[in-house]
Structure 1
Amino acid sequence: MNLALYLLTVLIWGTTWIAIKLQLEVVAIPASIAYRFALAALLLFAVLLVSRRLQKLDLRGQLICLAQGLCLFCVNFMCFYTASQWIPSGLIAVVFSTATLWNALNARVFFKQRIAANVLAGGALGLLGLGLLFWPELAGHHASRETLIGLALALFGTLCFSAGNLLSSLQQKAGLKPLTTNAWGMLYGALMLAGYCLVSGTPFAFQWSTGYVGSLLYLAIPGSVIGFTAYLTLVGRLGPERAAYCTVLFPVVALNISALVEGYQWTAPALLGLVLVMLGNVLVFRKPKAATPVPKLA
């Protein structure tokens, strides 16, 4: 079951970039993200109500959902979408892949969980591999003030993503399922984005084209309802640090799709990077050997 959820998350989030590109033509970024999560929340609430699986939340649960909505379904998306205007997508992918390391560190600080050496080593190896995969894109980009702003936004978005992971883990430890907490979190995220649009004067435009509506449906249903539910379920089952290795793998899926539809050419450094990413995946999920018991002397 864990393997199926893991592969599902990687495959879905590895293909959402195609839909996101179609969202950036006419409609303002915050409005597009608000539409996405409002639709996803509506679908989740409908499914939960019909199936009678909507769990009741107390004030604490609602406040954590509010924080989760702010971190996972609002601020981090605004940061990444805005950063993509100033820095290459490859650099964003590299920064985002540090979520594995941030999750391990935050779990240690806030939950007192031991940091597994293989998780840190695997995360570092995956980060190095992504750097090689995107090296031509990174090497061809000249540093500037906008680059620094983009990097800062990408890093802050990653930290928000990591915080959202820990909040979901906290909710699951309290017996709340990701379907319920995601429904509320996405609703809160959509409302906060809508409020931002109203305050900032961002127009609520909508593009009734096949490309925009189709991409919105893909991002809302597979990308949000299924993707986030599968991923956050993994956070509860595997721990935040192991689940976050998805952030290293889905750029690899995106590059393979790009090779098929956009003519991306694999190079020797990129292939080496792919090998390192796969080795990092093996390290992250390797079970530590049980300690051999020392025989007692008679």
Structure 2
Amino acid sequence: MILKILRKRQANTMSRLENVSLCILKKIRHFYTEKACNENAKLGSKKENRNLKSNDKKKIQNKKRFSEQSDYIKWLVDPMEGGQYIKPLSKAGTNFIHQKEYPYPLNPKFKPQPPLSLEARRNIGEKWKQGKSLREISDMFGISVIRVEAVLRLLELESKWRQEERTLDSYAQTMHHMLGSATNQSFNEPPFFVFTPSETQNFTLIHENSEFTSKDAADELQRCLYSDFKEKVIQFQSNTFLHNKHDISNKELKLQKEIINSISEKNRFDLKVVDSYTGNIWLLSKGLLKQIKIK
């Protein structure tokens, strides 16, 4: 009997201890879970605050950008300001800002030449079919031989595509209208662009005792004499400089004339190089490179 009573008491105490331990574990778990929830809530609130701050910054930046762009938008929309340059002119020609000759207001030195008109290109093709040489066509239209060759290649490619029934783009006519294409009367390239060096060697058999002058060489190469060419260059540059005095300084005029006039005084095999950026002139004569001083 005594043993049974002791065993019952022991079992009761064990059950009580288990209940107490379970309660303690529950309280501990509740404490830690509550603490973790609080920490998560704090982190979530911090993230929300950060997101709100970043959104506010983005909104402020967007407002600044819009305020900066609003001036440009107003200028473009205004028909008396930028709105008049949105559409091309009714007549053929450029529509630059303030009707200037250059497209970029901050770069007045950049004055692009108008492209050759489609009619002039067709006339060049017809002259070529009639048997005219490249030099004759170049002198006739006042353009360089290289441009004549390029026009003929394009015309040949166009005819080839027409035979293959390919679709040709029609935007070229619009571009020519907007850029103000130049005809053969208004298109006049400088002679020093027209006079290009020979790319092929010409061999002519002549008698040993016969004379072969510079005029004979010019006729053989189908080119003008150097003396005539020099006069044309000087005349063209003088006309250009008189027409654009505000764009070309007196130093550049003196430099160009000195280059042209001093060529005949030097050896015919001398090589003269002009730095287009600094304006310095270098002369390569008999293997020695010398700089020519400009007074």
Q: How high is the TM-score relative to the length of structure 2?
A: 0.23
Structure with the larger strand share: 2
Of structures 1 and 2, the larger Rg is shown by 2
Structure with the larger helix share: 1
Higher relative contact order (CA closer than 8 Å, sequence separation 6+): 1
